[in-house]
Amino acid sequence: MDKLQYDGPVVLAILDGVGLAPDGPGNAVSRARTPFLGTAAREYLHVALNASGEAVGLTPEQMGNSEVGHNTMGSGQIMKHGIAAINEAFDSGEVFNSESWRSAVTKALNGGTLHFAGIFSDGGVHSHIAHLEQMIVRAYNEGVRKIRVHAIFDGRDVEPFSSDRYVQRFENFARKFSDADIKIASGGGRMVCVADRYENDWEVVKRGFDMMVHGEADYFFRTPEEALQILRRITPDIQDQYLPAFVIVDDMDRPVGLVEKGDAFIYFDFRADRAIEIAQAFTYWDFPYFDRGDYKPSDVYFVGMTEYNSDTHVPEHRLVQPLEIHGTLNKFLETRGISQLAVSETVKFGHITYYFNGNSYEKATGEEFVEIESDTEPFETRPWMKCAEIADVVTKEMSNYKFVRVNFPGGDMVGHTADVEATMLAMEAIDLSLERMADEVDKLGGVMIIVADHGNAEELLDEDGNKKTAHTTNQVPCIIYDNTDNREKYELSSVVNPGLANLASTVAVLLGYNEHPSSWGKPLIKVL
């Protein structure tokens, strides 16, 4: 079998959150003016890839996400991820047999309060309310009677105005424990409090920390139902993800559930990117990001659902041991002396680096990362995001590397607002940047794989015309843009049900390596 040889680099361009769906009023991908992508899809080899459910190690019909998508692309493997792995840990008893669970319960039995916090929905991307319920049942059966929940409302992986449903579900659930004191103590939208990621805005974390620990917020209510009712009256069209922080108080206006010295605190998100910063806020002694007042990390026993950073092993205490990923593409290329470059803006920088490299920020020899700082304004007001700046870096540096990977976040980040017009602009900005990169690829004699990690932007309205902010289970595009003579030397292979796990081996073949780890999925192309 011949080997492919390119003078220029192999570029992997990941269009975050850009899936395939029939044209329609909510399909910002098909409605956008994207002449480069349109031509590329017609003129070059292309295939639709599976990027959700079992194809990326999730439960059947579970929508894909950026974390598992990049894990799968960068490792070439399908492993149990996210909710599939956590469900298994609950079923096997790993969660409740862990030393961390036993220690948290002991704290609560010795006079402390058992607190839970996390994204409060059944979206299954970052967390699942059923896991919270299972832990409360177990804690109650072990004798715990005082439990407080800090609800980080979703409206992103589920319907944008669904918080009332989850509050009602929880209140009905809590009433089953008539001799226990179980309450929602505070809440707020995931884009407003607690759940920042990639250190994009530490003020989000501070707002959540102050809400939970110090009882400080813009709003105070007697019940979570009252909170949602009044906040909706103040701003009728506010999505759950943007709900302001609030604290529940008693008849004497005292917070009903501050996180205090001697308490145990379980953060039940299993996905790391929106959990690591709040974990640091509770556990780091040397913490420079904001003033925590008189709080000390020794005050509270903090437990994560799993490990949120495999390099720093944060948090120390966790209910589920982390997934270990070996045999990643970047390590495969390191042993062959291939130089690598990873580029994105802050909101997806961790995906193109940490997640792509098997949950590690450790660089391979000859590998470099470039992070472009994201705007903190609402994404729909800057739908072009940092496309131009990303393309600037890639076109300038492309000639210095053999493998370049890049993430354009707009389809996902703007798509999560369900603003169709803004997401169309995001797609158009991406198209312009891809065309610039393609011109440089042609000049250098390289090849570019254009792919997505999961769907979102192609389905922003449901069948009734309501906004849809969640990811999708749709397939994603994969286009091999190649204007070199190599284009005639390979064709699409006959991979059954191709998915994201087939990309690592495809990159390897394009780089001239027909042999690759047996754990990887088969390449999408075969050399003639």
Peptide bond between residue 315 and the one before it cis (omega within 30 degrees of 0):
yes
Beta-strand pair 181-189/146-153: parallel
Q: Which residues contact 247 (CB under 8 A, 6 or more apart)?
A: 185, 186, 211, 215, 216, 217, 219, 220, 221, 255
| Structural contact between residues 305 and 318, judged by C-beta atoms closer than 8 angstroms | yes
Angle at alpha carbon of residue 20, lines to 499 and 78, rounded to 5°: 20
Q: H/E element holding 507?
A: helix 503-510
Size of the chain in residues: 528
Produce one character per residue of 378-413: b if its CB has 16 or more CB atoms within 10 Å, e if not.
ebbebbbbbbebbbebbbebbeebbbbbbbbbbbbb
Task: Compute, in degrees rounded to 10, the torsion defined by CA atoms 188, 191, 192, 197.
Answer: 120
User: Helix or strand or coil: residue 128?
Assistant: coil
Which one of the listed residues 52, 66, 310, 433 is annotated catalytic?
66
| Structural contact between residues 380 and 414, judged by C-beta atoms closer than 8 angstroms | yes
Euclidean distance between CA atoms 441 and 482, whole angstroms: 9
Q: Is 66 a catalytic residue?
A: yes
Q: Which two tokens stand for residue 333?
A: 């290329």
The single-letter code of the amino acid at 204 is: V
Of 351, 344, 415, 319, nearest in space to 94 by CA = 319
- Report, as residue numbers or ranges, the catalytic residues: 66
